[in-house]
Chain A
Amino acid sequence: DIQMTQSPSTLSASVGDTVTITCRASHYISKWLAWYQQKPGKAPELLISDASSETNGAPSRFSGSGGGTVFTLTISGLQPGDFATYYCQQYNSFPITFGQGTRLDIK
């Protein structure tokens, strides 16, 4: 199975900051990675697919990069609604696996 490891697990930042979350895969997964945002009590929402393709409707301040085994999600100019938990997911092969999540808190 491919293990996905996110860092950090928790991140504190302020409105207007730029933050980066890293996701590492235990095996090569090419560009087959998605990022999701989840707010408390809500279902996850897709932000990025294929490592760097922004989904329709996701704000442009969210960007993804990377490939192979190391990927990043960058949020430029944090807005109040961005404080949430973020998950990466690999879809290179079954079993599909998620990172453990990164909780983004207001400093």
Chain B
Amino acid sequence: EVQLLESGGGLVQPGGSLRLSCSASGFNFGSYAMGWVRQAPGKGLEWVSTINPSGDRTYNPDSVKGRFTISRDNSENTLFLQMNTLRGEDTAIYYCGRVLAATVGWLDTWGQGTLVIVSS
């Protein structure tokens, strides 16, 4: 069974940093692009980042560019999201997902999400 499990969320002060992890199982992790999508409380879905299967290409929207970095460890079947210079508007549930395409595609499997709260 394909499974994704996020961890690392929590309460952080504005300007602080946090590193999210997503542990994958049930599929050949290194063959798939992976991504992060977030959802602010009571709001819709927002794409945050995508990484290609080998990890040498990453994509981010302007809202997080220069602050968030996606990476992966294919030997450990784990996806990461390093979030720096956090702002109140980054408060959200962060979902990791398996991408069905080389890079830009749709997410066929989602984790349960991890909550990040940015507040003083």
Seen from chain A, the residues whose Cβ lies within 8 Å of a Cβ on chain B are 34, 36, 38, 42-46, 49, 55, 87, 89, 91-101
A101 to B46, CA, bound (A): 11
Instruction: Say which residue of B45, B59, B103 sits within 8 Å of A87 (CB atoms).
Output: B45
What number of A-B contacts does a CB cutoff of 8 Å give?
A: 57
Residues of B within 8 A of A98 (CB): 44-47
The reply to whether A43 and B59 contact each other, CB–CB distance below 8 Å, is no
The reply to whether A43 and B104 contact each other, CB–CB distance below 8 Å, is no
Decide yes or no: A45 and B110 within 8 Å by CB, A91-B104, A94-B59, A96-B104 being known contacts: yes
28 chain-A/chain-B pairs, Cβ below 8 angstroms: A34-B106, A34-B107, A43-B110, A43-B111, A43-B113, A44-B110, A45-B110, A46-B106, A46-B108, A49-B106, A49-B108, A55-B108, A89-B45, A91-B101, A91-B105, A91-B106, A92-B104, A94-B103, A95-B47, A95-B59, A95-B61, A95-B62, A96-B35, A96-B50, A96-B104, A97-B47, A98-B44, A100-B44
Interface size of B in residues (CB-CB distance below 8 Å): 24
A96 to B62, CA, bound (A): 11
A49 to B109, CA, bound (A): 13
The reply to whether B44 and A46 contact each other, CB–CB distance below 8 Å, is no
Contacts A46-B109, A99-B44 supplied; 18 other A-B pairs, CB < 8 Å: A36-B45, A38-B45, A43-B110, A44-B37, A44-B95, A46-B106, A49-B100, A49-B108, A87-B45, A89-B106, A91-B101, A94-B103, A94-B104, A95-B59, A96-B47, A96-B50, A98-B45, A100-B44
Residues of A within 8 A of B100 (CB): 49
Instruction: Say which residue of A38, A46, A100 sits within 8 Å of B107 (CB atoms).
Output: A46
* Closest-CB distance, A87 to chain B (whole angstroms): 6
Residues of A within 8 A of B35 (CB): 96
* Closest-CB distance, A61 to chain B (whole angstroms): 20
B7 interface contact, C-beta 8 A: no
Seen from chain B, the residues whose Cβ lies within 8 Å of a Cβ on chain A are 35, 37, 44-47, 50, 59, 61-62, 95, 100-101, 103-113
